[in-house]
Amino acid sequence: MDEPKYPTATSSGNSSSSKKKWILGTLIVLILAGIGGGIAAWQIIKRNNESSSSSSVSSTSKNGGSTSGVSGNPANFKKDSNLKQSFYAMAYSPSGSILPTCGANLADVQRDIQLLSQLTTRIRTYGSDCNASTLVMQAIEDTKVDMTVWLGIYIDSDDTIWERQRDDTLAIIQKYGTDHISGVTVGNEFLLNTEGAASSYTSIRQKVAEFKSELAKLNLDKTIPVGTADAGSMITASLASNVDYVMANVHPWFGGVPVDEAAGWTWNWQEENVVSKAGNTPAYIAETGWPTQSMTRANATLGGAVAGISQLQTFLDTYVCQANANQSAYFYFEPFDEPWKEVYGGVEPYWGLFDKDRNLKQITIPDCPPGNY
């Protein structure tokens, strides 16, 4: 495959995983200076909240057709010519799926899956509370779209949460089968939230092993891989050797990277800080994206990074097709704005390609299918 070309990057023939690698002139300085403070600070503030969203939204969108589809059939919905199935995968939380204020409903999730299916064939979720995982699987079945899911099991220090979501996920697999399930992700930033305590690494390994054992008892028609997702700085060779895959959040915004350098920065951060540790274990980018605004003007910039619609467009134009050509396995963060995150301030509510009402922002989606890899 020819090496993709993109602005400000130079080629290199010495990569830890392939000869196709993005290099930026200022990359090394940015990694050393930006990643330790920017990403870690952001991910700590997110802690226990990636499992879902608590705000409800309208059940129709001018960009995706009606929730129920044509003639009331959710599988027969109007396609939006502005949307392209160009993303390798996307990170998704149904609106209204965080305890204790559950509000997720099937109609809204059907609408979201209709839209998501026009952008990707793969999604990952964060947890099963508020019936979120069940709604996602039911919506995929109802809409009959080409979609697979990495189901998330959210965990923290309270093992009753693990037990509840473990049992939920096993029941979902038994009910819906394996056709639309690509993996199960145990934990999201659990290691970061516990500051990398040795006991937390032990807990992840034990829970992954336990879930794999429970899956084996089901005598499924295929093997479902079980992995974990965390901050890239938390991934170790030992952890990777005890799971089927690792996912790491890689956000150039929180590294303070100018958007025209963000694509190459993202590639190199993943290659040098995650892939190199993972060895033969598959390594995914769990989240990467760009915010379009901030709640306060002071927080609309971080180092050289600036939040905005035009900046999002630049990131899309310089990352998506190049990542696809380089066969980078990434989950774009995220399809929809999440207003419940206003409690965290800054750019947190504004990472979507769509606004909270599922209207596509003033952007152009790149047209470059990622293929199967």
Between 53 and 63, the higher pLDDT residue: 63
**The Cα angle at residue 286 between residues 88 and 305, in degrees rounded to 5:** 95
The pLDDT confidence band at residue 371, using thresholds 50, 70 and 90, is: confident
User: Is 287 considered catalytic here?
Assistant: yes
Share of the chain above pLDDT 90, in %: 79
Contact 55, 338 (CB under 8 A): yes
Each as own residue / partner, the long-range contacts of residues 64-73 (CB below 8 Å, 24 or more positions apart, any chain) are 64/111, 64/114, 64/115, 64/118, 64/358, 65/114, 66/111, 67/107, 67/108, 67/110, 67/111, 67/114, 68/107, 68/110, 69/110, 69/114, 69/143
pLDDT in tens, 262-271: 999 999 999 9
Q: Which of 287, 334, 338, 348 is catalytic?
A: 287
User: Considering the entire predicted model, what is its pTM?
Assistant: 0.84
Helix (H, G, I), strand (E, B) or coil at 354: strand
The answer, yes or no, to whether the previous bond of 7 is cis (omega within 30 of 0) is: no
Tokens found for residue 318: 């310089």
Given this model, what pLDDT does residue 71 score?
67
Sorted by sequence, the CB contacts under 8 Å of residue 233 that are 6+ apart come out as: 35, 36, 39, 40, 192, 273
CB 211 within 8 A of CB 186: yes
50, 141, 189, 272: the catalytic one is 189
At residue 72, the pLDDT reads 87
Least Cα distance to 52 among 149, 131, 106 occurs for: 131
Q: Which of 285, 352, 316 is nearest to 53 (CA)?
A: 352
CA-wise closest residue to 356 among 101, 124, 96, 164: 96
Mark whether 272 is an active-site residue. no
